[in-house]
């Protein structure tokens, strides 16, 4: 069975500072994908970044980067130069390739980020 | 290109009524997923389709829930009869098989009184 753990229920960050959101996972699949989604107060789920388990380079998308440490089973999201619009709930998710896990996104509980001026 | 489209965006109904949620995936995507989000259980997958065929419905809570995908551009999630504990946000997502990322619709916020 897959499991995603986000241990930070909420955090405050000052505008223009960087913030790291923690995510650890557990899976028996050899191949898997890791994702981060953003959910602002309006409710939609916005895809931010993806990391494949066999990707050697850490994924980056603009101000978002994923710090992937396979041996530690962690996939932390780093947001650089925070903006007020970054205030949202952030979800880490994993998609496996096993018979029971293919196609399924398993989500963590989320981390609420509030960016202050 | 248009993203995933869901309707209605909000639904308020009374216990015992039938509820039908609708989803139009991104054109060309051949995998479609229904998720439910609640405070207690977070985001959970209900069912997903590949090429209009249901692949895994193990997340469907009970027989009151059913989902169909009659063609590549339309899917429904039906609850009959609805109960207050079904109140949640229901998301539809789609992806292109072979690609990893699932793109979510805006969600339907359901309240069962």
Alpha carbon distance B5, B110 (integer Å): 16
| pLDDT tens-digit readout, B37-81 | 999 999 999 999 999 999 889 899 889 999 999 999 999 999 999
- Contact across the interface for A103 and B50, Cβ inside 8 Å: yes
Cα A115 to Cα A17, A42, B27: the distances in Å are 9, 16, 35
pLDDT score, position A2: 81
Which residues of A fall below an 8 Å CB-CB distance to B? Answer: 33, 35, 37, 43-47, 50, 52, 91, 93, 95, 103-105, 107-110
CA B64 from centre of chain:
14
pLDDT band with cut points at 50, 70 and 90 for residue A103: confident
What band does B1 get if pLDDT is binned at 50, 70 and 90? low
Share of chain B above pLDDT 70, in %: 99
Q: Which residue of A has its CA nearest to B57?
A: A104
Q: Is A105 exposed, middle or buried (0-12, 13-18, 19+ CB in 10 A)?
A: buried
What's the pLDDT at A100? 63
Per-residue pLDDT tens for A36-75?
Answer: 999 999 999 999 999 999 998 999 999 999 999 999 999 9
Q: Which residues of B touch A54 (CB under 8 A)?
A: none
């Amino acid at each position: 069975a897959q499991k995603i753990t986000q241990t930070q229920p909420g955090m405050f960050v000052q505008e223009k500072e960087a913030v790291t959101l923690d995510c650890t996972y557990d899976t028996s699949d050899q191949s898997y994908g890791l994702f981060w989604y953003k959910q602002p107060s309006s409710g939609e789920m916005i895809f931010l970044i993806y990391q494949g388990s066999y990707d050697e380079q850490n994924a980056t998308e603009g101000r978002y980067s994923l710090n992937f440490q396979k041996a530690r089973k962690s996939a932390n999201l780093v947001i650089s130069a925070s903006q007020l619009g970054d205030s949202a709930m952030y979800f880490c998710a994993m998609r496996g390739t096993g018979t029971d896990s293919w196609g399924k996104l398993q989500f963590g509980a989320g981390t609420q980020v509030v960016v202050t001026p | 290109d248009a993203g995933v489209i869901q309707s209605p965006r909000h639904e308020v109904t009374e216990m015992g009524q039938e509820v039908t949620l609708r989803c139009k995936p991104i054109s060309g995507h051949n995998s479609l997923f229904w998720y439910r989000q609640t405070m207690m259980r977070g985001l959970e997958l209900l069912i997903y389709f590949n090429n209009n065929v249901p692949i895994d419905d193990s997340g469907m809570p009970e027989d009151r829930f059913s989902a169909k995908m009659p063609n590549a551009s339309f899917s429904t999630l039906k609850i009959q009869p609805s109960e207050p504990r079904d109140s949640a946000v229901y998301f539809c997502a789609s992806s292109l098989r072979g690609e990893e990322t699932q793109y979510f619709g805006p969600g339907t916020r359901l309240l069962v009184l």
